[in-house]
Amino acid sequence: MIRDMCHGIIDRKLIMSEFKRTALHDFVHMRGKSPPPIFVGRNDVITDILTIAKKTKTNRVGIPGNTTVIQGAPGAGKSAVLNVIEHRAPEVGARVVNISTSDLEKNLPKVLSMIAAVANYEMEYWNDLWARYGSKWLTNLWREMSNISFSYDSLDMLQQRIAPETWKAPVIIAIDEAQRFTTGKNSDHAYFLQNIHDARTVCLPLTLVLAGLGDTPDVIRNLGLTHGVAPYSLGCFTSAECAALTTGWCAHFGIDIGDQRARIDALMASTDGWPRHVHWAQRALAEALLQESVEGKANRLSDWDVVQTRSNALRRGYYQTQYSDVMVASRKLVGRVMLEVANADIKGKGLTFGQVVDAVEAYKESAPGSEWRVPPGKNDTTYVTELIHCGALQRRSMDPDDRTLICPIPSFQSYIIQQGGFQVPGEPSPDDIGNSRSFES
């Protein structure tokens, strides 16, 4: 089902299927890291990663520079992409090991033993493992690793013990929240990543995928991965992807759209196509459809304004979780800086990381009060990094010549500006916020 949605294929028989009340109820209570029931888009990065993995299967050796970085603000769908890669890897004869940064930093020998086991499972055993546990296979294997007396301390040792030509399948090592890595080029986890990326002395059929926030490329450079890194930046869904998602989501839960498609599309349009905001809109709609008087039939919904209000409230609650304590403490400063970013983007110029730092320097303490100051413990540079971690800023593209920062979520940008008490560009306001300073490229 996930694979079909990736290709935009909808099984029309599902559109008239029975309403799945229990499944929709479970959807309402999903958490942020849970894989979405329907997945759309992101085909470029998924296809690229699986193509490289297929090449390692053919060559049985590592490919220098075989590292993909998936960056995006919170709620962009990075974890969902990794989940789909795991499900689709068997198409190219590969297997995926999803590990965390802490797994690699604190339990490297266990990680290496797990890779060795996965690489050498016969296909029949692997298929049985996947059939029994699905994505939970990793949890079971991790627990079983505790009973193994022999372990590896490096990839070099693993290569000496298990020659690459004997591997039953290439392995994709997927690491989420990669921005959390402790930086430094001489740690064991840094050597692990470098050996896969360089593919020189250690040359195993491994593919490395690192997913994280907007500063992840900087983090991995500090870990010694410098050349040939292929980065992808996740943004909003296109209108076509949103439409395909709505069709697939309703079909998946057996929702009878009736003649309410236009209203549902309007609800989704208010999300800007940002994946996490789309989820909140779906949740608001799901809550309404679960009413006993509605029972999954959209034509029975009497007040769509209530659904929109609920969607807005869920989205605003999400803003509040991303609006960090640092941003709260300096709401005037961050609002003014984000207004500068918005105005530069409107003019088609944009601001680089350094220019955003310059904006912080120019506006901090420009008026009385603590809300105009960089909070204690932060300097101008780490303050801007904080905005990246919170999803307020992200590189506009992965073009190495384009270092421009923008806010990837327009509605979040408006929220931050409004929290500072300023006028959002293009929206009327009686308040005079003064003349904008300019930071030319």
- Percentage of the chain beyond pLDDT 90 is 55
Q: What is the mean pLDDT of the chain?
A: 86
Q: What is the mean pLDDT of residues 107-117?
A: 90
Read off the pTM. Answer: 0.83
Kindly tell me if the per-residue pLDDT of 8 is higher than 70: no
Kindly tell me if the per-residue pLDDT of 10 is higher than 50: no
- pLDDT value of position 59: 75
Q: What is the mean pLDDT of residues 395-421?
A: 83
Structure token digits, residue 56: 């390692």
Structure token digits, residue 210: 């690192």
Interval 311-326: pLDDT, tens: 999 998 888 888 999 9
Helix/strand/coil for 76: coil
Interval 336-352: pLDDT, tens: 999 999 999 888 888 99
Interval 194-247: pLDDT, tens: 999 988 888 899 999 999 988 888 888 889 987 767 788 888 899 999 999 999
Kindly tell me if the per-residue pLDDT of 249 is higher than 60: yes
Please state whether beta strands 171-176 and 206-212 pair in parallel, antiparallel, or not at all (unpaired): parallel
Q: Residue 7 — very low, low, confident or very high, per pLDDT cuts 50/70/90?
A: very low
Kindly tell me if the per-residue pLDDT of 24 is higher than 60: yes
Q: What is the mean pLDDT of residues 247-261?
A: 96
Q: What is the mean pLDDT of residues 37-48?
A: 93
Residue of 207, 151, 198, 201 whose CA lies nearest to 175: 207
Q: Hey, how many other C-beta atoms are within 10 angstroms of the C-beta on 432?
A: 7
- pLDDT value of position 258: 95
Q: Residue 23 — very low, low, confident or very high, per pLDDT cuts 50/70/90?
A: very high
Q: What is the mean pLDDT of residues 139-147?
A: 71
Kindly tell me if the per-residue pLDDT of 429 is higher than 70: no
The residue with tokens 């050796």 is 61
Q: What is the mean pLDDT of residues 239-258?
A: 96
Q: Residue 126 — very low, low, confident or very high, per pLDDT cuts 50/70/90?
A: confident
Q: What is the mean pLDDT of residues 353-361?
A: 94
Q: Is 172 buried (19+), middle (13-18) or exposed (0-12) by CB count in 10 A?
A: buried
Q: Residue 149 — very low, low, confident or very high, per pLDDT cuts 50/70/90?
A: low
- pLDDT value of position 437: 39
Q: What is the mean pLDDT of residues 146-151?
A: 65
3-state secondary structure 328-378: HHCHHHHHHHHHHHHHHHHCCCCEEHHHHHHHHHHHCCCCCCHHHCCCCCC
- pLDDT value of position 195: 92
Kindly tell me if the per-residue pLDDT of 140 is higher than 70: yes
Q: What is the mean pLDDT of residues 269-290?
A: 94
- pLDDT value of position 16: 54
Longest dimension (CA), the chain: 72
- pLDDT value of position 11: 41
Q: What is the mean pLDDT of residues 100-116?
A: 91
Interval 162-178: pLDDT, tens: 888 889 999 999 999 99
Q: What is the mean pLDDT of residues 282-293?
A: 96
| Ordered DSSP codes for 249-284 | HHHHTT-B-TT-HHHHHHHHHTTTT-HHHHHHHHHH
